[in-house]
Structure 1
Amino acid sequence: MLSGCQIGDLVSIYADVHKKCKKGFQKLFEDEGKLFIGNGIVKMQRYQLFSNNIVQKGIAVEVKETTSGCPSIGDDFLPSGTALLQNLPSIICVACLDPQPGDTVLDMCASPGNKTTHIAELTRNQGTIVAIDKTKNKVKQLKALCEKFGAKVHCFEADSTKIVALSQISDKTVCDGPPFSPEAFDRILLDAPCSVLGKRPQIVNRLSKKEIRSYVPIQRKLFESAVKLLKPNGTLVYSTCTITLAENEAMVAWALKTFENLKLIKPKITMGSPGWAGVLADEDRRLVQRFGSECDVDSVGFFFACFVKKKEEK
């Protein structure tokens, strides 16, 4: 940003992919890693951005034009508490969970609460909805969003890999919080922690292979908890906002092999693409939903699969 730049000026925005444009750089910056993002209006003075004595927060440049041509629509676009903006696949995956009034529903990794509030909306606030997340700040954020939209949700801070009781608990309900009795929920959403490679366009990603691979063991542990907590004939939706085979199709293949009482079913809504080939049978590949720029519905990278827990035959 030029030293004479003022609030209200129109500027072009570039990404420094190679991290060569350092603070205090005086010359016109030219590098093959300089990537044009869009144009916008300056909202802060230059010293507010680069001073060591000021905490940098807020909007520095309000983007007006992007290379994609998509309009800028934020949470302040609509009156507060009237609507919540979500990506299309996130909406579809909760719709395919199909929560009904009277259902007992668990959202295992719920923060920030977008899908949780959608679940409450679909039950018309007439279900028993339990939302879990691992940290105090995330649960605080979750509760705030539920309160904002009037969603009746029981929110708890817990590790969802450790919320299953060893046996039935007769003196408490799910509303009292974890641990929960086995087979306590009609429907479970496992929107698993993942490598987040599909969430938004990224100029460059510096995640290591080790970091990406670290999510699979966690996802499997969460899956084990979900299956134990799901009632017979109950519905489980597994979803991620990433694109890797290991966290998506391979996770489904592992679940079908590990849990003989799980059945992969066709989602209520099918707007994405079939799963990638390689680990699932063609029939099963057509039952999962993969979203991204390669499918007919151009969207963020996302994946989900729907399961039903089969009732044990006596």
Structure 2
Amino acid sequence: MADDSPEAPARALERAGKLKKQQQQEDVAVDVAALEEEDDRDDPQRVWARVQSNLEELTHLAQKRREGATRSRASIIEELAADLSSYYEFLRELVDLFLTIFSPHECVEFLDASVKPRPVVARCNTLKARRKDVAAALVKRGCTVEPLAAWSKVGLKINRSDVPVGATPEYLAGWYMLQSAASQCPVLALDPKPGERILELCAAPGGKSSYCAQLMKNQGVLIANDLKRDRHKATTANLHRLGVKIAAVVCQDGRAFPGVMGGFDRVLLDAPCTGLGVCARDPSIQGSRTVEDVKKIAHLQKELLLAAIDSCDAKKAGVVVYSTCSVSVEENEAVVQYALDKRSVKIVPSEALDFARPGFLRCGSRRFHPSMANARRFYPHTHNMDGFFVCKLRVLGKKDKKRKSRD
């Protein structure tokens, strides 16, 4: 029976209000529960537990399938990549990129090592002091040091320091340069000799150029080029502090450098890159670099590498060393393969770097020249060094391959 009393509309409004309030409370309860579930899922301990569980499942995937497991490898990798992106705070697309380079287990090791700091390394400047004298001076100032590694005659690893090692009297006097272990390796591959003409195409802030001068015993000609003029102050200051007397600092676009001067015996190109191997030094890389950045920088790297080759003296079978502080194949093997296709060059071994891993001959659907095994890769999780790539090329001729074939 209908309620026709005067109070009926008021009671109806009251009931509607109560129902609306009850619905809002239920919605809030659902939202809170969903947020709690999401927070629980993103809890670092639970994320890490899932990572370990997925790695274990991948290890025994064939056995688990025989036991009736229904999860595919692709679905496991999908969840693993999402969890690694969350746990290590890398962009998801970077984690996907790393999973094309490393196995799932090694990818976790790489990411874990990439967010941890590398050792502080001093490269002793033999133009001014011997390594044992530098070590003795640093020990007197409260540092704990040890030789870097068997492959380095000038490196010192500084394990502990009571003073700023970049401001000691010995540092200011040019006895040593703070330079990571990995960044010394391209110069060892280049192996510059006294009396030669050497070019570093992207030289700022001068660490590798000064090491070249050191190995050249301050005899010969060294051109330290860099496009960015505001970085030349640091290059000039370092070369002066370290006692380098054979260097000229030049500001040119590296891509056009063969039109400026050429005929070099050896050229070092430590190319601009995404820095995916040095995330410990610049954590912003983890959340800012994208796969699109990798593709864009690879185009510039190819142009620079061709310019480096064209700057060599082909008659003397000049040497070019290409290096990056990235681990991506697109910036490394793919760039070198492009140079192999465009110029008369060959990859030669870098005997001083035999301790490193070889370059890739394949990655996914891509295939590279068999000599790419002579390139060298460095990783934080295997060498306790920055992620780096080094490849040594010998120039056989100067002309473009396609043009040469038409001639």
TM-score by length of 2: 0.53
Which residue of the other structure, out of 341, 352, 373, is the alignment partner of 1:286? 373
Please tell me whether residue 115 in structure 1 is matched to residue 208 in structure 2. yes
Distance 1:139 1:272 in 2: 32
The separation in 1 between residues aligned to 2:87 and 2:329, in whole angstroms, is 29
Secondary structure of 1:189's counterpart equals strand
Q: Which has the higher strand share?
A: 1
* Other-structure match for 2:239: 146
| Structure 2 counterparts to residues 206-221 of structure 1, below 5 A | 206-221=288-303
**Which of 231, 234, 237 in structure 1 is aligned with 2:318?**
234
Cα distance change of structure 1 residues 33 and 294 upon mapping to structure 2, 3 Å threshold: closer
Where structure 1 has 5 or more consecutive residues not aligned to the other structure, the ranges are 1-31, 39-69, 166-178
- 1:108-146 deviations in Å (ceiling 9; x for gaps): 000011000000000001010001111221112111110
Displaced runs of 4 or more, over 6 A: 32-38
Counterpart in the other structure of 1:244: 328
Which of 74, 97, 105 lines up with 2:198 in the alignment?
105
Name the structure 2 match of 1:75: 166
- Tell me, yes or no, if the aligned pair for 1:190 and 1:239 is still in contact at 8 Å: yes
Give the 3 Å change call, closer, same or farther, for CA 264–34 of structure 1 in structure 2: closer
- The corresponding residue for 1:163 is 257
In structure 2, relative to structure 1, the CA distance for the partners of 1:85 and 1:272 (3 Å cut) is same
Give the Cα–Cα distance (whole angstroms) in 1 for the partners of residues 301 and 178 of structure 2. Answer: 26
Q: How many residues align?
A: 235
For 2:333 and 2:307, the matched residues in 1 are separated by 19
What amino acid maps onto 1:308 in structure 2?
R
Q: What SS is found at the alignment partner of 1:143?
A: helix
Distance in 2 between residues matched to 1:112 and 1:79, nearest whole Å: 16
Change in Cα spacing, 1:143 to 1:37, as seen in structure 2 (3 Å) is closer
Q: Is the 8 A contact 1:253 1:280 kept in 2?
A: no
Confirm or deny: 8 A CA contact 1:249 1:280 kept in the other structure: no
Alignment of 1:1-314 (within 5 A): 71=160, 74-76=165-167, 79-80=171-172, 81-152=174-245, 153-165=247-259, 179-181=260-262, 184-201=263-280, 202=283, 204-232=286-314, 233-259=317-343, 261-269=344-352, 270-276=354-360, 277-278=362-363, 279-281=366-368, 283-295=370-382, 297-310=383-396
Where is the helix percentage greater, Structure 1 or Structure 2?
2
Instruction: Tell me the distance in 1 between the aligned counterparts of 2:88 and 2:390.
Output: 36
- Confirm or deny: 8 A CA contact 1:110 1:142 kept in the other structure: yes
Q: Secondary structure of 2:250's partner?
A: strand
- 1-side partners of 2:116 and 2:268: how far apart? 35
- For structure 2, the 5+ residue unaligned runs are 1-85, 90-114, 118-158, 399-407
Among the aligned pairs, what percent are the same residue?
27
Matched to 1:230, the amino acid is C
Distance of 1:161 and 1:282 partners within structure 2 = 25
Q: How far apart in 2 are the matches of 1:193 and 1:246?
A: 13
What does the per-residue CA deviation read over 1:190-210, in whole Å, with 9 as the maximum and x for residues that have no partner?
110000111242373322322
TM-score by length of 1: 0.68
